[in-house]
């Protein structure tokens, strides 16, 4: 896929000009795509702006083109870049409407999207409607892919704890990746430092709270959420959804030099009302090395991370030392970049730890033989990583 493709560029620009909405009142504007070709051009020239053209192929779209749009001036989203792409299970240009007091369904529009996508249904356990799906192949010389996103929904706060909610997912597949979704893909839209997916039920302020009458007072992982249901909220008059997450990062390890695949999907759960959206930062889809130790903090700590025996059969001893009081975290990653175990999490004033690892994941399951990576973080910064082998 060529980034500087005259046909794609002209098609994309003309599509935006045709669909562009004049808005003197709001600075946040969404310009919906007119057809599938415009969606593909938008993915290529905006979301994948940071990738070399030769590393992207086979961009495809399934759904209603108007469910996807180009947004600008999204300062309130918290990204470094104020432009990007939005995927919805309704109409993308509903997103830049004002929220309305004492009204529940300010974004609740059916579209001609995909019905009953198997991955969305497996993810949520509910029927999937109004699906919006984007897929493409990518290749990199690095070992990790990552991108930035915000999830927002009109189902906040009315349907928190509900049995059926809207669903979205990022599903990555490729050599060495073994997951339960189609093409053996892994789901990577996770709450930071957990194995829990980002949903309305896992990130919220609790149930209840009609717009402009006070938000709920509960908290489930609410440190990752921003309210937009009250007139005092900064984006109330320019963003329709009742709440949105803070910027989050989706990431997964890949085998360097191989072609991999990603599927990004969002759908209505159970019915086709109360819409949601995923906003993707322009140019944030990138690759990098997680096994590179160049991120060590200079002049702050004399690092020392040791693992013995290595290789190991049933267990190995992980030893770490540092020189100052810090919030310490030890994580173990599979060779595909999936975090399989957190061995230490919390603030520690001691300058060393020793932890016996028995080759099991976070749920106590025995992990297969192979290459793993032990990463050490101090105050959220990775200071060292070691490669180990389980026989």
Same domain flag for 102 and 197: yes
Radius of gyration of the chain, Cα coordinates, nearest whole angstrom: 22
Res 326: pLDDT? 72
Rounded CA separation 260/257 (Å)? 9
Same domain flag for 140 and 215: yes
Residue 229 lies in a domain: yes
Res 3: pLDDT? 54
The 10s digit of each residue's pLDDT in 171-227 is 999 987 877 899 989 899 988 877 788 999 999 999 987 789 888 999 999 999 999
The 10s digit of each residue's pLDDT in 318-361 is 988 776 677 788 889 886 667 899 886 666 666 678 899 999 99
| pTM recorded for the entire structure | 0.73
Res 346: pLDDT? 64
Q: Structurally, how many domains does the chain consist of? A: 2
Same domain flag for 284 and 313: no
Same domain flag for 12 and 116: yes
| Cβ contacts of 390 within 8 Å, gap of 6 or more | 311, 312, 313, 359, 367, 368, 369, 370, 372
Rounded CA separation 48/347 (Å)? 38
Residue 35 lies in a domain: yes
Pairing of strands 167-173, 259-269: antiparallel
DSSP symbols for 207-251: S---TTS------BSGGGEEE-SSTTSTTTTT--SSEEEPPEEEE
What is the domain-level CATH number for residue 364? 2.60.40.4070
Pairing of strands 259-269, 128-139: antiparallel
Rounded CA separation 279/281 (Å)? 7
Q: Compute the mean pLDDT over every residue in the chain, rounded to the nearest whole number.
A: 84
Last residue of a domain, one of 257, 288, 319: 288
Last residue of a domain, one of 225, 256, 288: 288
Same domain flag for 196 and 121: yes
Last residue of a domain, one of 245, 261, 288: 288
Same domain flag for 360 and 277: no
Same domain flag for 310 and 261: no
Same domain flag for 283 and 322: no
The 10s digit of each residue's pLDDT in 237-250 is 999 999 999 999 99
Distance of CA 67 to the CA centre of its chain: 19
Same domain flag for 261 and 159: yes
- Residue 152, beta-bridge partner list: 244, 277
Domain that holds residue 83: 6-288
Distances 173 to 60, 141, 146, 329 between C-alpha atoms, Å: 16, 16, 14, 28
């Amino acid at each position: 896929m060529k980034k500087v493709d005259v046909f794609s560029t002209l098609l994309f620009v003309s599509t935006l000009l045709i669909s562009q909405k004049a808005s003197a009142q709001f600075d946040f504007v969404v310009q919906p795509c007119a057809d599938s070709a415009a969606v593909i051009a938008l993915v290529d020239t905006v979301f994948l702006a940071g990738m070399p053209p030769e590393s992207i192929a086979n961009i495809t779209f399934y759904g209603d083109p108007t469910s996807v749009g180009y947004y600008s001036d999204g300062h309130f989203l918290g990204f470094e870049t104020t432009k990007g792409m939005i995927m919805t299970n309704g109409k993308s240009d509903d997103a830049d409407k004002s929220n309305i007091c004492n009204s529940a369904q300010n974004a609740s529009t059916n579209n001609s999207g995909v019905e009953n996508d198997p991955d969305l249904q497996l993810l949520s356990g509910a029927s999937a409607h109004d699906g919006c799906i984007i897929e493409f192949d990518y290749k990199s010389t690095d070992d990790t892919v990552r991108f930035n996103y915000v999830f927002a929904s009109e189902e906040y706060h009315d349907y928190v704890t509900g049995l059926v909610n809207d669903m979205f997912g990022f599903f990555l597949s490729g050599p060495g990746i073994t997951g339960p979704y189609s093409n053996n893909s892994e789901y990577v839209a996770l709450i930071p430092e957990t194995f829990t997916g980002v949903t309305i039920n896992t990130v919220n302020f609790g149930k209840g709270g009609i717009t402009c009458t006070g938000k709920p007072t509960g908290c489930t992982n609410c440190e990752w959420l921003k309210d937009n249901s009250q007139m005092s909220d900064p984006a109330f008059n320019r963003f329709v959804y009742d709440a949105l997450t803070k910027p989050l990062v989706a990431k997964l390890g890949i085998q360097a030099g191989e072609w991999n695949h990603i599927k990004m999907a969002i759908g209505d759960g159970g019915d086709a009302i109360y819409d949601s959206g995923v906003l993707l930062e322009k140019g944030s889809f990138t690759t990098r090395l997680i096994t590179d130790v160049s991120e060590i903090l200079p002049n702050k700590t004399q690092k020392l991370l040791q693992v013995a025996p290595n290789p190991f059969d049933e267990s190995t001893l992980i030893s770490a030392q540092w020189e100052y009081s810090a919030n310490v975290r030890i994580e173990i990653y599979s060779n595909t970049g999936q975090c399989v175990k957190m061995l230490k999490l919390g603030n520690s004033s001691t300058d060393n730890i020793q932890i016996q690892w028995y080759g099991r994941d976070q749920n106590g399951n025995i992990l297969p033989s192979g290459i793993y990576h032990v990463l050490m973080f101090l105050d959220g910064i990775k200071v060292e990583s070691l490669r180990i082998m389980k026989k």
